[in-house]
Structure 1
Amino acid sequence: MAIEFNASDRATLGVEWELQLIDVHTRHLRQEAQQVLGALPDLSEASASPPLRHELMQCTVEVVTGICETVEEVTSDLGGTIGRLQEILEPRQLAPICAGTHPLDDWRDQTLSPVQRYGELIDQMQWLARRILTFGVHVHVGIRSREKAVPIVNALANYLPHFLALTASSPFWSGHDTGLASSRSIIFGALPTAGPPPRLRDWPTFEEYMETLIRAGTISSIKEVWWDVRPHPDFGTIEIRMFDGIPTLREVGMAAALSQSLVRLFDQQLDRGYGLPSPPTWVVNDNKWRATRYGLDARVITDEHGSTVPLRDDVYELLRELEPVAERLGCAEDLDVAWEVLDKGASYERQRTIIDQGGTLNDVVDALAAEFRFGGIAPRPRRTADRGGTEPDSTGDDAGREPSLKSTKST
């Protein structure tokens, strides 16, 4: 099965940002996406790639950029569309927020979007799809050839915990604290073709694998493969789908900068004849779980012998290694927002702090609305107890750890 890959000649960017529509008085989700999109026909119906789109639930709208060259273009594109969206929402007493889940609401109270492919998904997946009251951010980065796609996907799998922990924002599910940094990762990851990408050898192996899934009836097209990182042949991109719902435009810019910098670095290393890291499947799966549970307080596995290091330390190292790449791409300031997240707390930490200080889940929703509207990351006061917990130390030896971006010269 030959799959055409529409390669990009640059590390272009595209971002999809799934937003919740909440009632400003009750804080609950409102099922009004159809009415909202209908009020903005020039943004939702005028082209084959509209910037505002339906998602699975009527309480959701997705904001999508065009093809962008820089992170600055991404945030400008998203900001312009959101400005138009808010003009429609405010008279309706609606507000947009974003987190991986809504802290209060139950999936059983939601209305499905009137889109045929979503109805088909529900028919096929049943309860697994009906409960996907989750919200995320997807970042596309252009690559120059299909031969680079699989090696870069394999290498990015090493950074699933970094992507997730920096953006984890779904500690609450249906009004309860799950004890996880990201419940969205569990809910969406339950779909049969979701989760970490399998470690494949090359593009022909990817084509063969897709052909096998279609022949078996597992999928009807490759668009039904929802890996955490996947090649997107139609766009000529690598799509990173690991991010939780992100509350602020500045943090979306951070996710885009991190994605573009890593993909550009790996692309250049391949040009220079280096082999990229390709962690074992068990390491990728285990590390994703650790970030799902503990967020930035996880310890991640660094080799096949089970050595571990604190994820925070690994993120620090990653940011330092990417600084020169980000400078060349013009997104160094956007990448620097990650330092602010490490200092003030990721969203799951900021949300839990509100509860620990005596607030309610209504207060959490209000804080998410304020962060979205004003774009700031509220400081995270120190607290004596963390319901999310810190991952217990392991017997892994940090001294045996290899550099996180180490590549090996091909022979």
Structure 2
Amino acid sequence: MQIRFTSSERASLGVEWELQLVDRETRQLTSGANEILAELTPEGAEEHPKAKHELLQSTIEIITGICGTVAEAKADLAGTLAEVVEAADRRGLGVLCAGTHPITDWQTQDISPKERYAQLVEKMQWLARRLQIFGVHVHVGVRSPDKIIPIVNALTQYVPHFLALSASSPYWVGADTGLASARSKVFEGMPTAGLPYQLSGWDGFEDYMETLISTHAIESVREVWWDIRPHPDFGTVELRICDGLPTLDEIGAVAAMSQCLVERFDREIDRGYTLPVPASWVLRENKWRAARYGLDAEIIVDDRGTVRPVREALTDLVDDLMPTAKRLDCAAELADVLRILEVGGSYQRQRAVAAAHDGRLEPVVDSLLAELRDGLPG
């Protein structure tokens, strides 16, 4: 089958942010998306242009338009966030983001009243019903389908960098999982989620999609939830690896990393370079290490098994990408990667709050509410 790739402006940017609605008294995830979105949707429109339903009624996803810079994307998100927070507050609800909710049991949650979600739950059953997880997705524009698969393949070597930096899901249904990112492991249970297959080109992607659709494994390309995937309709590479991020500062940091890496690979293709295709065993091991140890992970950096701390790899990556960031006007946001390394990742900050309150997790929810309001600590 042929899949049309709608080419995008080079290095254009879009961000999707999945937000949690919580009862301010109980701190539990609480349904409210239907009422909030109904209130915010302009008269005569079917839905809000930048605030959407997600699988659970306790979730609202906010999205940007097509942006040129990371600063523009952050401002776009901030505007929609303010609308959602105000409407939630009128209902006694707070808004936060993390890869998982620290205490709520997924079995208590209501599914959004949309046909596609009902079909997903019917098909996937327990795998779908337990998807009480939240992420941040970054889209970066690519001009040609000939470039998209080489860029996806090359980006996979940075899965541990993004996952370690964004890890924010140490807790699951009131228990410490021992992981930095439980979300990433929960999501891998879905049959078309996880690391992308290393395909040879766009024709290989089309063949793969044709096989899945013709055998009724999926109905559309939208149901392939790889950590990094092509998005033909938007003309982007979509990085879906990140846990939900509590602050706009952290969103800016991962968006800047994403935009700079895609821009660099795009330019290397133009110069005639062949982009790297990392060994699949290295990718699988590195993703596990980042999910387990977060910013304390030691990742494999070549096919010979050389290991180095992911903190060092991130610091060197920021230095390496800074000239590109200056061209793209996102140097300040890229530098926020170093701020995160200094103050600690979200999973570390959450555990520190729990430790300061005798292991109780309600204060962790309060800290996440405060971070979304006030920004990255320190």
The interval holding the TM-score normalised by the smaller chain is over 0.9
CA distance in 2, matches of 1:47, 1:311: 45
1:95 positional shift: 1.0
Aligned position for 2:216: 217
Partners of 1:99 and 1:246 within 8 A in 2: yes
CA distance in 1, matches of 2:208, 2:48: 29
Aligned position for 2:161: 162
Aligned position for 2:101: 102
Partners of 1:108 and 1:131 within 8 A in 2: yes
Deviates more, 1:200-209 or 1:151-160: 200-209
Aligned position for 2:92: 93
Aligned position for 1:354: 353
Deviates more, 1:351-360 or 1:128-137: 351-360
Aligned position for 1:84: 83
Partners of 1:70 and 1:330 within 8 A in 2: yes
Aligned position for 1:376: 376
Aligned position for 1:396: none
Aligned position for 2:248: 249
- For 1:333, the aligned partner's letter is A
1:112 positional shift: 0.5
Question: What is the SS of the residue equivalent to 1:240?
Answer: strand
Spell out the pairing of 1:279-298 with structure 2 (5 A cutoff). Answer: 279-298=278-297
Task: Tell me, yes or no, if structure 1 residue 22 matches structure 2 residue 31.
Answer: no
Aligned position for 2:269: 270
Spell out the pairing of 1:77-156 with structure 2 (5 A cutoff). Answer: 77-156=76-155
Q: Deviations over 1:80-139 (max 9, x none)?
A: 111111221112111100000000101001000001100000011000000000000000
Normalising by structure 2, we get a TM-score of 0.97
Aligned position for 2:6: 6
Q: Give the fraction of aligned pairs with identical amino acids, expressed as a percent.
A: 53
Aligned position for 2:187: 188
1:72 positional shift: 1.0
CA distance in 1, matches of 2:171, 2:203: 41
Q: Deviations over 1:207-244 (max 9, x none)?
A: 11111111222111111100000000000000000010
CA shift in 2, pair 1:49/1:32, >3 Å:
closer
Partners of 2:139 and 2:237 within 8 A in 1: yes
Question: What is the SS of the residue equivalent to 1:275?
Answer: coil
Q: Deviations over 1:163-183 (max 9, x none)?
A: 111110000000000000000
Aligned position for 2:344: 345
Q: Deviations over 1:169-204 (max 9, x none)?
A: 000000000000000001111100000001111111
Partners of 1:298 and 1:310 within 8 A in 2: yes
Gaps of 5+ in 2: none
1:49 positional shift: 7.3
- For 1:238, the aligned partner's letter is V
CA shift in 2, pair 1:309/1:84, >3 Å:
same
CA distance in 2, matches of 1:165, 1:194: 18
Question: What is the SS of the residue equivalent to 1:223?
Answer: helix
Aligned position for 2:236: 237
CA distance in 2, matches of 1:93, 1:221: 38
Partners of 2:169 and 2:181 within 8 A in 1: yes
Partners of 2:165 and 2:340 within 8 A in 1: yes
CA distance in 2, matches of 1:9, 1:15: 15
1:31 positional shift: 0.8
Aligned position for 1:406: none
CA RMSD between the two structures: 1.3
1:288 positional shift: 0.5
Task: Tell me, yes or no, if structure 1 residue 35 matches structure 2 residue 35.
Answer: yes
Partners of 2:250 and 2:376 within 8 A in 1: no
Q: Deviations over 1:27-74 (max 9, x none)?
A: 11111110111111129x836772010000010000011111111110
Partners of 1:199 and 1:280 within 8 A in 2: no
Normalising by structure 1, we get a TM-score of 0.90
1:356 positional shift: 2.2
